[in-house]
A and B are shown apart, each in its own frame.
Chain A
C-alpha cells in the first residue's frame, strides 16, 4: 500500500510549476476545487468546515461524499483535484518504484 498524503513530497514546488504552466481555466478550476473541498465537502457529512480541522476519517468521508454528490459540478471539481494531485504524486520516483512502474 502506498503512503497516504502528499505532504513532504514537494507538492508546493509542483504547484508553483503548475501555476506557471497550466491554462487559466484549469488553475481557476483547481482553486475552486480546493475551496469546495475545504468548505463545502465537510457540510456534506454534517461536519463543520474547514476540512483541515477534521480527523483523517472525517476528511475522507467528506471528500468521498463530494465525489459521490448528485451535483455534477462538485464531482467535476473533485475530478480536477484528483487530476492535479495525480500529476504530482504519480511522478514521484518512490511512488513509481512502489507500484512497479519502469
Chain B
C-alpha cells in the first residue's frame, strides 16, 4: 500500500471540500483531496438520464429512506460532488436561519453573520453568480414569472453560477457546455494549480486517529499521511458514517438529519412550453417561505425523469407523456420540521426520515398555491402524483386538493438538500463539532460540509456550504 504525506487531507470534493481545499491550497500547496466517485469530464456528460444517474449520482439517485413513506435521497457522487448535478443555484444563508443558529442552537457570535456574508460575496464573485438572464429563461421560467406577477407574490430570477449558460435544461445531467461553475471546473483546478493533489475513485475507509489527533486517512488502496489536519466533507449522509468508522463517538452522530423534501407538480398549457429549453431552474418564488416554509421553483427535466413523475399507467400515461412540449414543471422544496437518523456503524445502509405532522399542511398549501398559479398563468390541466387526489385538475378545481384526505405515504417525495448529522454546537453534549469546525475531543479533525448545519435552510444550500467551508479553512490555517 502506497503512502504519501500532505499538510492537509480533505475528504470529499463537493461544495464543502473543494471550497476548503481552495483556501488551504493558497496557504500551502500540500493538500490532498480524496473523492470516492469518478472524475467525469464535460465531454463525457450524456443527454440521457440513465448513464448520468449511474455515473454521477450516489446509488443512481435512488438512496431511499426507510419507514411507511419512503423518500428518495438524492446526492452527487463524482469529482465535484453534488455541484456537478445541481442547478447552479446560489442562495446565501438566510439571516433568519442564522438567527436561529445563534439563539436556539447557542452558536452565539462564534460564526458572525457578517463573516458569512463576506465569504458568500467573495464566492459569488469568484463563481460569477448572477440572476438568470431573461434570454435563457425558456417557457417554464417565463410561466412562473408571469404567474407570480399576476398573483402579486414575490418572485425573482434565480441566482446561478453559470456564466455562458445556453439554457439547455441539462444541469442535472452535468452541464454540457462547462458553463456551470461546479467544483471540478472551478475551485478544484484552482487548488491543483497551487499544488493540491486530487485522488478519485478512492473511498476513505477511516480517518486514522491517535490519541485524538488525526494522522491520516486510509482508503482501500492507499494510506495518506496528514501532517496538520484532516477535513471531512463527505456529505450529511457519509460524514457521520466515516467519523464513526474512525472511532469518533457522540450520541449526536448521524442524528438530527434534516432536509428539504420536495415533489413536482406539472401543468399543461395550450401553447408550447418546451421544457427541454431554458435554464433548468431559472425562476423561484420566495414569498411563501416565511409563512409556509415552502418555496416554488421551476425544474426542467429530461423525458426520462418527466415520464417518471407523471401519474397513471398505460394509455393515460402515454397521453401525458405525449404532451411533453406543453408541460411546465415546478417543484416545492419544503423546509421540513422533521429530523431523521442516518444509520452508522452496523446500520450504515439505513436512513430513517419521516415527515413531521406540521409538514403536511405546509406541503398541501404549497401544492394548492402552485396549482392556482399554474391556472392563473393559463394551464388547462394540472397533474400531481399524490395518492387519493384527483388524477387531473382543471381550472377552478384546485380547491379539491384541500378536500381530499392524505397521509405522508401518499406523497412521492425526494430529499435533495441534507443537513445536521454532525451538527455544530459549542457544547460536546449537544453536538459533534464545535464552532471552530473541529470534532469535539479531537485536535485536528474537522467537518466542513452541511452535516455541521444545526438546521435546514429553506433555500438551496451550495453557497452556504461553500461559505462556511471557506470560513472553516481560513480558521484552520490561522
Contacts and interface: CB of A to CB of B under 8 A. Distances in A.
A101 B324 contact: yes
Interface string B305-319: 111100111111111
Interface of B: 48-50, 53-54, 59-60, 62, 64, 68-70, 168, 272, 274, 276-277, 302-308, 311-319, 321-325, 349, 387, 409, 412
Contacts of A96: 303
A18 B303 CA distance: 18
19 contacts: A2-B318, A23-B59, A25-B64, A25-B349, A60-B313, A64-B313, A67-B313, A82-B307, A86-B304, A86-B305, A86-B307, A88-B50, A89-B304, A90-B306, A90-B307, A91-B303, A99-B322, A99-B323, A100-B325
Contacts of B316: 64
Nearest to A64: B313
A2 B321 contact: yes
Contacts of A79: 308, 412
Nearest to A4: B318
B315 A90 contact: no
Interface magnitude class on chain A = 35 or more
Nearest to A65: B313
Contacts, number: 108
A91 B50 contact: yes
Given A17-B50, A99-B324, A83 B60 contact: no
A96 B53 CA distance: 19
A99 to B, nearest CB: 4
Given A21-B50, A25-B64, A82-B317, 9 more contacts: A25-B349, A86-B307, A86-B308, A87-B53, A90-B307, A91-B303, A99-B322, A101-B302, A102-B276
Nearest to A78: B313
Contacts of B272: 100
A83 B89 CA distance: 26
Contact of B68 (A59, A63, A72, A101): A72
A68 B387 contact: yes
Interface string A68-102: 10001001101100110111111100011011111
B124 to A, nearest CB: 30
Contacts of A59: 314
A91 B48 contact: yes
Contacts of B277: 102
A60 B304 contact: no
A101 B50 contact: no
B49 A90 contact: yes
A26 B59 contact: yes
Given A64-B313, A90-B303, A25 B319 contact: no
Given A64-B312, A101-B302, A22 B276 contact: no
A97 to B, nearest CB: 11
Interface string A2-36: 10100000000010011001110110000000000
Nearest to A95: B303
Shortest 3 CB-CB contacts between residues of A and residues of B: A90-B304, A90-B303, A60-B314
A54 to B, nearest CB: 12
Given A72-B68, A99-B321, A89 B307 contact: yes
A63 B49 contact: no
A64 B318 CA distance: 13
B448 to A, nearest CB: 27
Given A26-B60, A76-B70, A87 B49 contact: yes
A85 B315 CA distance: 15
